[in-house]
Amino acid sequence: MKIKLVFILAFVLSVSSVHAQKLEIQLTLLTEKQEAFPNATASLYRLPDSVLVLRQVINGNGVFKADSATTYLLKVSAAGVQNVSKEIRVKDSSVEVTIVLNPKVSNLGNITIVAKRPLIKQDDDKTIVDAEAISNSSSNAFEVLEKVPGAIVDQDGNVYLSSTTPATIYVNGREMKLSNADIASMLKSLPAGSVSKIEILRSPSAKFDAASSGGIVNIVLKKGVKLGTSGSVNLAYFQGVYATETAGVNINRSSGKLTSYFSYQFTNRNNFEKLNSDRFTAIDTLVSQQSHTTYPSLNNYISGGVDYAFTKKFNVSYDFRLSNNSQRSYAYNPIHIINTASSSVLGNNQSDIRNKNNSGYISNEIASKLKLDTLGSEWTTEFDYYYYDYKNNQDYSNSYLLPAAATVKGDGENNNVKNIYVLQSDLTLKLPAKFTLEAGFKANFSNSRNSAHYLIDTGNGQKYVDGYQTNTFKYKETITAAYLQVSRTIAGFTFKPGVRLETTNINGRQFIPKDTSLSITRTDVFPYLFIKHNLFKLFKTPLIGSVIYRKSIKRPYYESLNPYPKYIDQYLYDVGNPQLKPQFTTNYEFNVLFQSFPVFAVGINNTKDIFSQVTYQDSRTKIAYRTYDNLGKNKEVYFKIIGGIPPGGKFFFYVGAQYNYNHYEGFYDNKPLNYKRGSYTFFMFQEFKITPTFIFNMQGFMRTKGVQNFYELNTFGGLFVSVNKALLNKKMNVIVSVNDLLRTNHVSFNINQGNVHASGSRYNDTRRLGLTLRYNFGGKPKEEKKSFDTAPETN
């Protein structure tokens, strides 16, 4: 693999040396942040007669053929930025021109007019979704994530992009070393308005952690805004079967070199889950359960930070976030055991479970940025510390009504503490001959401790230690990484090869009920290659094609390795697998962009040692348990297509479809597995501007019958609508929304793998009517244009 990378770099260097002998004007367009500027119109005129030589749309870099001893006039324009004109004299060699495009800004009293951010745009291998329109109809950050176009979020908090492997969740560019359930709980505690944008990386570059086989979803939270003193207050109420109330305030302050912000949000939320399941424990014996659980919770969220610019080239920032969530749950679970041959009832049981938990999350981030030149070279360094604490008190009772038997009761305490330290440094250099070099180092240290102490009363009124559920488990994980990647545009092709080296050191030890340990030490190399080129023109705008090749890893996380059994009810529990091995995926993907908007993608994922959540059944006790296991290999083929009406008028929309086909080969519960299944996902977003201050939004998704963790899911989806009315000179917004209007965002399922044969359905409190009031004070951006992409201006 190293030989292949050396060959690629040698090829790039050799081609560039030949290419440099041609007479060209090599144009680079940058934003004010020294990033590549997408979707600008560049026009080249020959002087003195001002004859148009060529007009083309430039995405960061472009090339114009040029004659020697000739003077040209170059004009560059794009929506939302100031037009630029530059005279260029070509003598006897090629000319390199770098232009920084600055936003259009004009002042009307206390109102600043700037261009509106696009709703969706593509930046090389990253899709960026502006969260503003989505957050208007959402009560928390988790609901914002649920509505991201093309992303499917299941009821356990897993997020799926192109692959059936769940994506890795980042917040502000940092991976959350938490279970899916813990991440979902944390996101539900964050207000919807705290999300600035969501970045989707289906095939991340070598700069990102290799532990991202299913891609990366990076949730970027808002920070301070440089608009003097500004802020907002919000109040919202959502009513479904149960109600959710939330209120908060955000204050930003910018004075000279110092920018600061502070926000607070309070949320009182209630929800429910209804789970019906039928599972055969024998050919003619059926266990039928109807569980109903409510989840009332109170959350307090605080965030703040400062950013100080010591010079124009060097700044240091500090951000902190604190979330405290207090939740209770009450589960009512009647159970019937039926002989299907005779339709007779063999038993009636009742399981009641009560949980009272408190979770806290604290993040501290210190970052610095040093701009090394005006071309975009920079050096950034970050040190982060995250603390997560979860405490739960549980008590349960299992009543045996038919045949009558003594009631079994139990109670216990569960404590889970995580400390995570991250040190990262990244260097970007703009080198001669239009090379860009990126290199960096990252060290991630994670220390977790889980302890559970349970007592049980089997019916005689005396409690004793439950040795099955009492557990103490310690876990340490150290992952260090270094990466290197270069990029260069040659003859219209943009090449970006890279490589990442990661060392993994994992140690886990169970102290109670018995002393056992696990250890994983390994070093892996992950190559990456990105190539981009204009394909052909459509409506006078070039379609841009790109191909991506990468390798990635998915490591078992702490909860999937912990052998501690987590009690669900007397017929089901969750347990980790300390023998779990990492899985490796090779990904190939081809993408097509139109005006920086992704319109088509097709890819292949080849995964070996794939591990997935599985459900097994104890052949003796007939109790089912959910765990993780390595099943073999999987080949997945997927494609995605998106289209819509271009923005600019009162109405625009986009609609998309994705198809996934999976072929698993291996063993499930020690039985041969040869499993093939495909499914479609459809999604859309529509916006109608009734008046300049009255906007209607509608978005939705539908997923056809498919597979997830070997559960066959029937078709499900959701439709979300909202209206937004601006008042008081656009300082106040009144938003009325309806989530899951048709109440179709629930699933029915069945599984027939190994010795598990079950079916059922799952419902949540998804259909809710919401009213949100938001008032902005101080400096406030005024909308100039609302779009999912900004069309280029032409001269």
What pLDDT digit, counting tens, does each position of 463-503 carry? 999 988 899 999 999 999 999 999 998 888 999 999 999 99
Please give the pLDDT value at position 117. 53
* Mean pLDDT for the stretch of residues 607-630: 89
Question: Average per-residue pLDDT in the chain?
Answer: 85
* Mean pLDDT for the stretch of residues 550-567: 85
Residues 737 and 772: their CA atoms lie apart, in Å, by: 8
Write the pLDDT tens digit of every residue in 384-402.
999 999 999 999 999 999 9
Please give the pLDDT value at position 228. 65
Write the pLDDT tens digit of every residue in 435-450.
999 999 999 999 999 9
Percentage of the chain modeled with pLDDT above 90: 44
* Mean pLDDT for the stretch of residues 749-771: 92
Residues 523 and 456: their CA atoms lie apart, in Å, by: 45
4 or 25, higher pLDDT = 25
Asked whether the beta carbons of 516 and 558 are under 8 A apart, the reply is: no
Peptide bond into 646 cis (omega under 30): no
Residues 209 and 501: their CA atoms lie apart, in Å, by: 10
Residues 98 and 60: their CA atoms lie apart, in Å, by: 10
235-238 LR contacts (CB < 8 Å, sep 24+): 235/772, 235/773, 235/774, 236/139, 236/770, 236/771, 236/772, 236/773, 237/770, 237/771, 238/139, 238/739, 238/768, 238/769, 238/770, 238/771
- As a whole number of Å, the end-to-end CA separation of the chain is 48
* Mean pLDDT for the stretch of residues 713-723: 91
Would you place residue 156 in the very low, low, confident or very high pLDDT band (cuts 50, 70, 90)? low
* Mean pLDDT for the stretch of residues 71-75: 89
- Please state which of the ranges 632-646, 703-717, 778-792 shows the lowest mean pLDDT: 778-792
Residues 102 and 97: their CA atoms lie apart, in Å, by: 16
**Whether residue 647 has pLDDT greater than 80:** no
Rg (CA), the chain: 28
Residues 335 and 277: their CA atoms lie apart, in Å, by: 10
Please give the pLDDT value at position 108. 40
Write the pLDDT tens digit of every residue in 674-693.
989 999 999 888 888 899 88
The enclosing H or E element of 401 equals strand 378-402
Write the pLDDT tens digit of every residue in 162-189.
776 788 888 887 777 666 767 777 777 6
Please give the pLDDT value at position 330. 95
Would you place residue 347 in the very low, low, confident or very high pLDDT band (cuts 50, 70, 90)? very high
647 or 145, higher pLDDT = 145
Please give the pLDDT value at position 379. 96
The enclosing H or E element of 143 equals helix 141-146
Residues 545 and 691: their CA atoms lie apart, in Å, by: 37
Percentage of the chain modeled with pLDDT above 70: 89
Closest CA to 662 of 601, 707, 724, 611: 707
Contact partners, residue 253, CB within 8 Å, separation at least 6:
224, 228, 229, 259, 260, 261
Q: Is 282 helix (H, G, I), strand (E, B) or coil?
A: strand
Closest CA to 205 of 218, 196, 195, 221: 218
* Mean pLDDT for the stretch of residues 27-35: 79
**Whether residue 654 has pLDDT greater than 60:** yes
**Whether residue 789 has pLDDT greater than 50:** no
333 or 36, higher pLDDT = 333
Question: Three-state SS across 59-104?
Answer: ECEEEEECCCCEEEEEEEECCCECCEEEEEEECCCCEEEEEECCEC
Please give the pLDDT value at position 193. 75
Would you place residue 413 in the very low, low, confident or very high pLDDT band (cuts 50, 70, 90)? very high
260 or 96, higher pLDDT = 260
Asked whether the beta carbons of 563 and 510 are under 8 A apart, the reply is: yes
Residues 47 and 160: their CA atoms lie apart, in Å, by: 54
Asked whether the beta carbons of 517 and 506 are under 8 A apart, the reply is: no
CA–chain centroid gap for 650, Å, is 30
Quick count: other Cβ atoms within 10 Å of Cβ 327? Answer: 20
Q: Tokens at residue 89, please? A: 């004299």
**Whether residue 113 has pLDDT greater than 70:** no
Q: Is 508 helix (H, G, I), strand (E, B) or coil?
A: strand
Please name the amino acid found at residue 413: E
Q: What is the rounded (10 degree) CA torsion for 153, 159, 164, 170?
A: 170
Judging by beta carbons within 10 Å of its beta carbon (0-12, 13-18, 19+), is residue 92 exposed, middle or buried?
exposed
